[in-house]
């Protein structure tokens, strides 16, 4: 046999021969504790409402949300991230349901904490897009532009009511400059130094958010390109990262996950805090749609996408498959 370099003595395929061999030498392993379940709760519905663009995902009632939280605990996942969907008539220009102690998100936080206590990290989306009649993540100025600093005042109020409602972790997701520092200060002012901040540090203006708009009943017209990041850019992600850490972020997030694995890897290499990635609605919907048509193996595709995200550097992953995958892993 002709010798080519170290071949035939060197044969990497020896370490791929059987499932047990492949499992033993695997460099990346998924575990139920890696996962956080994003969940939507809708005000004024008596039954869960299916989300057409996200097969298998629903807008929960308060009761079905509590059941989902209990299932998440049983599956061994680490957290649940709650998004509240208020009745359309309650939305206004400043997102009043977001700071109303009886707003749907705050009610749901209390429900879930009462159901699971400290067995599951109860996390809350801290943003105005679900609660404003214009659908933007902040309040608007007289010319219809998102007013960064006025929005920060609303975020401070939201942080306090979410903490009072039982959130272990708040997730400021609006991509306003200075949001992490303002939220940290607001929490500390009411003696809630124990509440953690999961900073949406890297959040791109992505086409893959499409199905999420249905999930939260978004009223948005236009886009969010003046505050979410440009998909063409990478260096600004590291700038955002440095600012969020300086302002007191306890954990940092990259969103979306799959299309931005290079960014995720750079962030993970740069920090000594936990790194989280959000596998968003469009990523979920593409796999489900292709699997429904028989074009891909659904279960293998799900595991492959999640393994890739973890391999790139995510310690934890928000995914709509969290409970399902955790159950299978266990």
Residues 64 and 235: their CA atoms lie apart, in Å, by 42
Q: Within 13 Å of residue 66, how many CA atoms lie on the same side as its CB? A: 12
Active site residue 203: yes
Q: Which of 66, 91, 203, 310 is catalytic?
A: 203
Active site residue 225: no
Contact 96, 126 (CB under 8 A): no
Residues 108 and 43: their CA atoms lie apart, in Å, by 10
Contact 277, 257 (CB under 8 A): yes
Residues 147 and 133: their CA atoms lie apart, in Å, by 15
Q: Which of 66, 91, 255, 310 is catalytic?
A: 255
CA distances from 96 to 133, 157, 158, 159, 262 (A): 10, 10, 10, 13, 38
Residues 329 and 26: their CA atoms lie apart, in Å, by 15
Tokens of 161: 């009511």
Enumerate the active-site residues. Answer: 203, 255
């Amino acid at each position: 046999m002709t010798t080519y370099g170290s071949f035939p003595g060197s044969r990497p395929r020896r370490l791929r021969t059987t499932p047990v061999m492949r499992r033993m030498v695997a460099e990346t392993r998924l575990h139920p504790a890696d996962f956080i379940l994003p969940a939507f709760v809708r005000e004024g519905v008596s039954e869960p409402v299916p989300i057409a663009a996200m097969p298998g995902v629903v807008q929960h009632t308060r009761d079905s949300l509590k059941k989902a939280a209990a299932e998440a605990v049983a599956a061994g996942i680490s957290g649940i991230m709650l998004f509240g969907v208020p009745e359309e008539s309650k939305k206004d220009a400043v997102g009043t349901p977001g700071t109303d102690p009886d707003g749907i998100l705050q009610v749901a936080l209390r429900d879930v904490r009462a159901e699971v206590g400290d067995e599951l990290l109860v996390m809350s989306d801290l943003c105005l897009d679900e609660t404003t009649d214009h659908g933007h993540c902040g309040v608007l100025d007289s010319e219809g532009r998102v007013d960064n600093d006025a929005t920060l005042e609303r975020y401070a109020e939201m942080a306090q009511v979410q903490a009072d409602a039982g959130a272990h972790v708040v997730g400021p997701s609006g991509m306003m400059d200075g949001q992490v520092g303002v939220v940290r200060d607001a929490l500390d002012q009411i003696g809630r130094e124990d509440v953690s901040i999961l900073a949406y540090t890297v959040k791109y203006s992505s086409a893959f958010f499409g199905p999420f708009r249905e999930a939260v009943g978004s009223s948005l017209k236009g886009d969010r390109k003046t505050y979410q990041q440009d998909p063409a850019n990478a260096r600004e992600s590291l700038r955002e990262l440095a600012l969020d850490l300086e302002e007191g972020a306890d954990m940092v997030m990259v969103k979306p996950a799959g299309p931005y694995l290079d960014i995720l890897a750079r962030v993970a290499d740069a920090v000594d805090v936990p790194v989280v990635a959000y596998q968003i609605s469009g990523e979920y919907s593409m796999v489900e749609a292709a699997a429904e048509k028989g074009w891909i193996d659904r279960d293998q595709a799900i595991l492959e996408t999640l393994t890739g995200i973890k391999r790139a550097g995510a310690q934890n992953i928000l995914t709509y498959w969290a409970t399902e995958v955790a159950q299978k892993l266990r």
